[in-house]
Amino acid sequence: MNRSIIKVLIVLLFPMLAMANQPKEVSYIDSLSDIIDPATHHGFVDLNDLWYPPGIEMNGMTEEIFNQILDNVYKVYEPIFRAKGAEFVIERRWEDGTVNAFARQVGNKWMIRMFGGLARHETITPDGFALVACHEVGHHLAGAPKKGTRWASNEGQSDYFATLKCMRKLWAQDDNIGYVEYMWAMESPFVDEYAMEMCIKAHQAGPMQALCGRMSMGGQSVAFLFQALRKLPTPPKFNTPDQTKAKQTQDSHPMPQCRMDTYFQGALCPISADQDVDDMDPSVGTCNRLANHPYGLRPLCWFAPAEAFGFF
């Protein structure tokens, strides 16, 4: 039976039973309010019916790797959340086959919910999974533009934050040069020549060039997930940016190529990860057209700042 039908039946016929004894297909629903108001969750991808339970890992992901990545996210961001008066909560759902991730706020609990199903998807690398976690952190911390008057940064801004700030903090102490050199020597498909050329142009220091390349490839991993979910025949590529120009900033999920462009531009931006963004001004802590930054600009396929209208 279709999962969406199951959810409707649970809401209409057995709401109390649903909260007490849920089938695994809707195990990410914690309360009746979650069912009634899905807008309280900000998902990484659109809702879908994919289900990847433990035992069908096709990408080498293990529960240990899943937890190691989330341990690192918590270690880096728990003090940052605490400084804002919030409790950072990572809900780890390794057993759950849902192919998605969510962010939500309940009081002072600022949460991200990470599923094993997404981590096990064949397109997802460990670095891609880290990017997903960073996107969800971004809903809480990525600043403007936000989703209207809500607390959450919009989807494009959360994507941008993932490589502009979050992944840089996560991997600041890693040997990123050694990592990229090893992947290159292995002729890994997860190192793109064009992406590395652009990273070398955008950044002066070797470690940052390598980190830029690594983040870009994490972005490619999840862009392939978007392609698979939308059943698109052509994969996103670094050298084929989306040429669409939004007339107003788009809050919902951009198209796969546009999202990949956003990750790539976030990686190329030379602004420090330690320079915070702002909840009101989208130019603060970012590469932007007002400052004439040559690299790292948020793509116009979703972002339409007032200063960008002259580019149409």
Task: Indicate the domain borders of the chain.
Answer: 1-36, 37-311
Name the nearest CA neighbour of 306 among 145, 143, 152: 145
Is 60 exceeded by the pLDDT of residue 125? yes
Q: Could you write out the DSSP letters of every residue in 188-253?
A: -TT--HHHHHHHHHH-SSHHHHHHHHHHHHHHHHHHHHHHHHHT-SS---TTS------SS---SP
- pLDDT of the residue at 40: 59
* pTM of this structure: 0.87
What's the mean per-residue pLDDT of the chain? 87
pLDDT in tens, 31-79: 434 443 445 568 999 999 999 999 977 799 999 999 999 999 999 999 9
pLDDT in tens, 140-151: 999 999 997 789
Find all residues with CB under 8 Å of 184, minimum gap 6, and list them: 191
